[in-house]
Amino acid sequence: MNNGKTAVEFRNKLIKWWKFYGRKFPWRETEDPYKILVAEVLLHRTRAEQVVPVYSAFISEFPDIFSLAKSSKDKVMKLIYPLGLRWRAELLYEMAIEIMRRGGRIKADKNWLCSLPGVSDYIASAVMSFAFNKPEPILDTNTVRIIGRLTGMRVRDSSRRSRKFREIYLYLMDRKTPRVFNMAMIDLGALVCRARTPLCDRCPLKNWCAYTCTSCL
């Protein structure tokens, strides 16, 4: 990708594919930063399909920060017990308490988000993108795999924290609709650009890709 026109074509192809094939999840139907923050905590190390019923029950019981903060850790634990990882219940409760202490409003500020109990750079980036539509790269296992295959760069565990991967992602990103772009990248990695059995013949980005899978030979 050596010019702006190519990058625009890349984005258009990706987003066009996503509008047809993108996955539907309840947390994608809102831009409420509280609900997106809850979803991102629940999604940690857990398949999205498993999270759906727990997320729906959680939001029904705790529709806002105030209702979560005035509850108890035990009640939160009972709701998310099916997902395991006990620390998530404590984290969600402590986050709610801290947000209420700060005035009860989640700010569109990455540093502010990262200062909340247990909020990682990834979770903060996700909230910035999905709630506030900010051009924040979402570097996870799926998206770094895509970038690695597009460019021919080797992907390591540290790639999610790589400045180079971040710079490439920012170059590719649609600055007008970063929220949609990030969801499209995540879904492409989950559905097409898979780790072991990539579906290269179905990929909307194959004309830009440096990767050659065995099924393409």
Catalytic residues: 40, 122, 140
Q: Using the structure block, give the residue that is written with the tokens 């506030």.
A: 132
Q: Which residues contact 158 (CB under 8 A, 6 or more apart)?
A: none
Burial class (CB in 10 A: 0-12, 13-18, 19+), 110: middle
How far is CA 41 from each of CA 18, 27, 85, 113, 168, rounded to the nearest angstrom?
A: 24, 12, 11, 13, 26
